[in-house]
Amino acid sequence: MNRLDREQMAARVARDIPEGAYVNLGIGLPTTVANFLPADKEIFLQSENGLLGMGPAPAKGDEDPELINAGKQPVTLLAGGCYFHHGDSFAMMRGGHLDICVLGAFQVSERGDLANWHTGAADAIPAVGGAMDLAIGAKQVFVMMELLNKSGDSKLVAECTYPLTGLRCVSRVYTDLAVFDLGPDGASVIEMVDGLSLEALRKLTGLVLRDGRASVCIPE
């Protein structure tokens, strides 16, 4: 079974981002998707802290502490990019102006509920940042995550047990084992890695999982 590594997962997500899309890549794993976006396509990266047209990390020594991304890492601005304040930045998200946002998750329910901000542990210090705004704002919300947690339990679930970030908001989940489309009728599998069967995937997730492999057209 050819489980995808994190770079392969990022590359797989990148394949589904069309030219001209306005995209927000969440902190952590989703940020790496930027490395796999095709150089010959213009794709607009937005960062919640007030920039659109985000470019790659600067060369060593060119970092500017006032030009950072949502993860507070130094970035650059492309020609044609611009800056704006937090009100406008979150209007972009909440107002449905972003085409795609890519987020990590602790759990996603088969109908698209997202849990990615809080483990619910009693001693955890809660922190939400822009996760709830991104979850409900973008036209499409993609999640990328490993399908199983460290205990081997599926993170794609019937109902989330972790505190929710947003309801019915995730449209697609990219994992190391399969890609799922989510909707009111539950999850359907649109891709699997070689050597994995739908039956095995149903067993891993404990979900019904419709077979959507034929009917789905992946945007280029």
Partner 1 sequence: MIDKSIAAVEAAVADVFDGARIMIGGFGTAGMPDRLIDALIAHGAKDLTIINNNAGNGETGLAALLKARRVRKIVCSFPRQTDSHHFDALYRAGEIELELVPQGNLAARIQAAGAGLGAIFTPTGYGTLLADGKETREIAGRHYVLEYPLHADFALIKAHRGDRWGNLVYRKTARNFGPIMAMAAKCTIAQVGEVVPLGALDPEAVVTPGIFVQRVVATGDARRAAA
Question: Out of 48, 63, 110, 191, which one is annotated catalytic?
Answer: 48
- Supply the minimum distance, in Å, between the C-beta of residue 156 and partner 1: 19
Cβ distance to partner 1 smaller for residue 65 or 152? 65
Q: Which C-beta is closer to partner 1: that of 137 or that of 179? A: 137
48 is catalytic: yes
Give the other-Cβ count within 10 Å of 106's Cβ. 19
Nearest to 190 by CA among 206, 204, 171: 171
Give 64 or 211: the residue with its C-beta nearer to partner 1: 64
Contact 108, 146 (CB under 8 A): no
Q: How far is the CB of 103 from partner 1 (least distance, A)?
A: 14
What is the 3-class SS of 17-45, one letter each residue? CCCCCEEEECCCHHHHHHHHCCCCCCCEE
The bridge status of strand 186-192 relative to strand 210-211 is parallel
Report how far residue 141's alpha carbon sits from residue 116's, in angstroms, rounded to the nearest whole number.
Answer: 13
- Using CB under 8 A as the criterion, which residues of the chain lie in contact with partner 1 when the complex forms? 19-20, 22, 42, 44, 46-53, 64-68, 72, 77, 79-98, 118, 123-133, 136-137, 163-167
Least distance (Å) from partner 1 to the CB of residue 135?
Answer: 8
> How does strand 100-103 pair with strand 44-47?
unpaired
Rounded to a whole number of angstroms, the minimum distance from the CB of residue 127 to partner 1 is 4
The residue among 104 and 163 lying less far from partner 1, judged by its C-beta, is 163
Catalytic residues: 48
